[in-house]
Structure 1
Amino acid sequence: MARKKVDRTQDEIREYPCYSIEQVASYIGVPKRTLRNWVTGYSYQTRHAMKRANPVITPADPENNLLSFYNLAEAQVLAATRERNIGLRRIRHTVEYMREVLQEERPLLRCVFETSGQDIFLQNISGKNLRNPLNVSKFGQYGFRSILKKYLSRIERDANGNPTRVYPLKAGARSAKRNIVIHPFVSAGKPSLAESGIMVEAIWKRKKAGETVKTLAKDFRLKPSEIKAAINYYAA
């Protein structure tokens, strides 16, 4: 008997645990150990005893440490901490403070921030506009303003404030253009070229096999600049 097809909603697809820690680390350009610490927490020594730090990201499948598209979006925001050399403990304190103030378990995912001059305001949470926008620039002592300011434009959201697309920005990438996108409904959620939807991995494998940019551009019917963007993304 044929298995009955199960149609998932968009939210369910974005919540579905489909990425390993290794995959997400590769997509957004952070070390696997760093991402694992964000997802599983870690132990550290104090003057008196060993303590356990809680995770900053709650994985979609905690038992197997599998991540969803939503988890990937959270990790993309946190990726900026490595560029700024901001300690994970400080970031955790900031996130925990926002959870207490906003009563939102996953503020990195569900909160929508906007900028005004040098200040950053929280305008919307879980699809609801705040009567008095919260100025999160006061978290500057934790470096949170510098993180958000750079990465706000890299995540697109729907009317409910949930991420719909992530434009990964790897440390060391040659270009900050939004050429590469991770879309949960395109190329099985793997990085693809933003305009054509062609999976970046397919281009990279053929380039590694020795094919030229000119040949790849002709075969995929793309501009050479798009082929180079895909190659540079993997090279970064």
Structure 2
Amino acid sequence: MQPGSQPFETLTGIGLYTPAEAGRLLRIPPARITRWLRGHEAGGRRYERLWTPQADLGEDGLFLGFRDLQEVRVAAAFIARGLSPQRVRRAIDLARCVLRDEHPLSTARFRTDGRSVFLQVAEEDGETRLLDLLRGQFAFREIVERSLSNLDYDEDGIPQRWWPLGRGKAIVLDPARSFGQPIEAETAVPVDVLAAAAEAEGSPEAAARAWDVPVRAVKRALAFRQAMAASAA
């Protein structure tokens, strides 16, 4: 680990992903993720990164934490709705001040209508209002659909677990387990371990016997791997 980088023990519980891993999980080109988190130059102009990643390994390379993974997911959804990265960066800066959270974009309180970004605010009168972060005023309008789905949040709206293919597929990313790598939810065994066992043993049934897990757990891991490979093709 390089001087000035984050101590390895502080990475426990936040997850750890390379841009390539994040790209496969999010179905976003890794180069785009790198640009957003490192900044880049284009047309003689410097564009700063959208936010500072959770994981700082110095010169060992760019890595994302679990919150970064979800921030990228939301940023991509906002940009897909027509917002420029610069407007997303401005919304992040404003929301960081409002929520006092270094990774505000991944909270459950963000919304967009394709033109601006709103922060959901509950008022004392019981009404739900949307604070327009790009105009600095409250907007009275319907809450647009969340950009995030298949997430488990804590009571403060902070994402805790992500089910990338939906809960029914039983594959989950939990930063508190296996450094946030995909695991089979029923057994808590990493997807890569079960998939590799199936390849080594020659069948899901043989892998299940070797690992003393249900055959369905191995098949879920293989299905997830296939889904990720298909999305990357």
C-alpha distance 43-210 of structure 1, shift in aligned 2 (>3 A): farther
| Structure 1 residues 136-147: aligned runs within 5 Å | none
* Equivalent pair of 2:169/2:220 in contact (CA under 8 Å): no
Determine whether 1:133 maps to 2:131.
no
Match of 1:212 in 2: 203
Is 1:74 equivalent to 2:65 in the alignment? no
Q: Distance in 1 between matches of 2:175 and 2:95?
A: 30
Residue in 1 aligned with 2:52? Answer: 58
In structure 2, which of residues 152, 162, 171 is the aligned counterpart of residue 180 of structure 1? 171
Q: Cα offset for 1:36?
A: 0.7
Written as runs of structure 1 = structure 2, the 5 A alignment for 1:15-164 is 15=14, 18-45=16-43, 50-60=44-54, 61=56, 63=58, 64-80=61-77, 84=80, 90-97=84-91, 99-100=93-94, 103-104=97-98, 105-113=102-110, 122-123=119-120, 129=122, 131=124, 133-135=128-130, 148-149=146-147, 151=148, 153-164=149-160
- Counterpart AA for 1:207: A
Shift of 1:101: 6.0
User: Compared with structure 1, are the counterparts of its residues 156 and 209 closer, same or farther at alpha carbon in structure 2 (3 Å cutoff)?
Assistant: same
- 1:222 corresponds to: 214
The alpha carbon displacement at 1:202 in A equals 0.4
* Distance in 2 between residues matched to 1:101 and 1:221, nearest whole Å: 44
1:103 counterpart SS class? helix
| 1:227 shift after superposition | 2.5
Name the aligned partner's letter for residue 203 of structure 1.
Answer: L
SS in 1 for 2:155: coil
Q: 1:194 to 1:15 in 2, by over 3 A?
A: closer
Task: Give the CA deviation at 1:210.
Answer: 5.7
**CA distance 1:177–1:57, change in 2 (3 Å):** farther
Q: Which residue of 2 aligns with 1:202?
A: 193
Q: CA deviation at 1:24?
A: 2.7
Name the TM-score, length of structure 2 as normaliser: 0.65
CA distance in structure 2 between the partners assigned to 1:81 and 1:218 by the alignment: 45
Backbone CA RMSD of aligned residues: 3.8
The structural deviation recorded for 1:176 is 7.5
Q: What code does the residue aligned with 2:213 have?
A: R
Does the CA-based 8 Å contact 1:122-1:133 persist in structure 2?
no
SS at match of 1:43: strand
1:158 deviates by: 1.5
Please state how far the C-alpha of 1:218 moved relative to its aligned partner. 4.0
Q: Give the TM-score, by structure 1 length.
A: 0.64
Does the 8 Å CA contact 1:57/1:75 hold for their aligned counterparts? no
Amino acid at match of 1:163: P
8 A Cα contact 1:14 1:70, kept in partner:
no
* Higher relative contact order, chain-length normalized (CA < 8 Å, sep 6+): 2
Per-residue displacement from partner, 1:10-51 (whole Å, max 9, x unpaired)?
xx74457x4333333334333221211121122222xxxx11
| Distance 1:101-1:22 versus aligned 2 partners, 3 A rule | closer
Q: Using a 3 Å threshold, how does the CA distance of structure 1 residues 80 and 22 change in structure 2: closer, same or farther?
A: same
- Shift in CA distance, 109/205, structure 1 to aligned 2, threshold 3 Å: same
Residue-by-residue CA offset, 1:27-76 (whole Å, 9 max, x unaligned):
4333221211121122222xxxx112222242121744232222122223
